[in-house]
Amino acid sequence: MSDQDTRITLADLAHVHAPDLRRFAEVWLAARGEAVMPARSALDPLEMPRLLPHLWLCAYEPDSERFVYRLAGEAINAVYGHSLRGLDLSGILPPQGYEIVRKRYLHVVTRPAAVHTSGRIYLHNRRFHAGERLILPLADDSGHPAFVVGATVVVGDWDYPEPEDLARDHRTTVTPLVHDGDGVRHEDFLGDPRT
């Protein structure tokens, strides 16, 4: 990070609306200290107890660019009907959805960035909840990106009235964690909007 680079603040995540996800962002931002991202050991999930059932954590394996679930809260496991612990991302998503979601996770650890999705979520496995998801990176104790941590908050029911409009209200936004001082440039994620 150069002298002119600036790290994001909560104001840069104004597009995150769910109160529990805003709390997640606050805790993550406070845990990072002077670093670009906090170490996994610095993030205390007990600081956001209402979010515990909605949190999940994947270990990042840079050589293979794989993501393996280390934990998933009860609400996340309920969506899939089983525990995600120990499963590779490719083991829970169909091939097309896997590639899109994996690219999002890679953005989080390699840019690094925050990735926020709102609207209909879980579309990759034909579950049409409305909600929001925030994904953030965590470092290992040496400061290297080693994990993605996310929280998914669902509202509404499982049904969507018009199948052809599944992606109508879906939006995924990438926010780089460091910017050049001229302000954060949010980017809409390019990819299939149905995931």
Q: Which residues are within 8 A (CB) of 112 and not within 5 positions of it... i.e. 6 or more apart? A: 36, 37, 137, 145, 176, 177, 178
The residue written with tokens 């998801």 in the block is 133
The residue written with tokens 């669902």 in the block is 154
CA neighbor of 58 nearest in space, from 108, 111, 124: 108
CA distance linking residue 113 with residue 43, whole number of Å: 17
* Dihedral sign (CA 108, 87, 74, 101): positive
Per the CB < 8 A criterion, the answer to whether 189 and 174 are in contact is yes
Mean pLDDT of 147-169: 69
pLDDT at 191 over 70: no
Domains of the chain (ranges plus CATH)?
Answer: 6-39+52-188 (3.30.450.20)
Please, which pLDDT band fits residue 1 given cuts at 50, 70 and 90?
very low
More confident residue, 35 or 156: 35
Mean pLDDT of 40-45: 96
Least trusted range by pLDDT, from 46-50, 61-65, 126-130: 126-130
The residue written with tokens 């879980």 in the block is 122
Residue 14 CB: number of other CB atoms within 10 A?
Answer: 10
Note the pLDDT of residue 128.
59
CA distance linking residue 185 with residue 77, whole number of Å: 34
User: Exposed, middle or buried: residue 148 (CB in 10 Å: 0-12, 13-18, 19+)?
Assistant: buried
Query: DSSP 3-state assignment of 56?
Result: strand
Note the pLDDT of residue 154.
81
CA distance linking residue 3 with residue 43, whole number of Å: 26
More confident residue, 132 or 24: 24
Note the pLDDT of residue 96.
79
Q: Which residues are within 8 A (CB) of 87 and not within 5 positions of it... i.e. 6 or more apart? A: 68, 69
Note the pLDDT of residue 65.
93
pTM greater than 0.75: yes
Per the CB < 8 A criterion, the answer to whether 132 and 19 are in contact is no
pLDDT digits (tens, 9 = 90+) for 111-140: 999 999 887 665 555 555 678 899 999 999
Please, which pLDDT band fits residue 14 given cuts at 50, 70 and 90?
very high
Q: What percent of the chain has pLDDT over 90?
A: 57
Mean pLDDT of 55-79: 95
More confident residue, 93 or 21: 21
Q: How far is CA 26 from CA 8, 21, 182, in A?
A: 11, 9, 22
Note the pLDDT of residue 129.
67
Q: How many residues does the chain have?
A: 195
What single-letter DSSP state applies at residue 96?
A: H
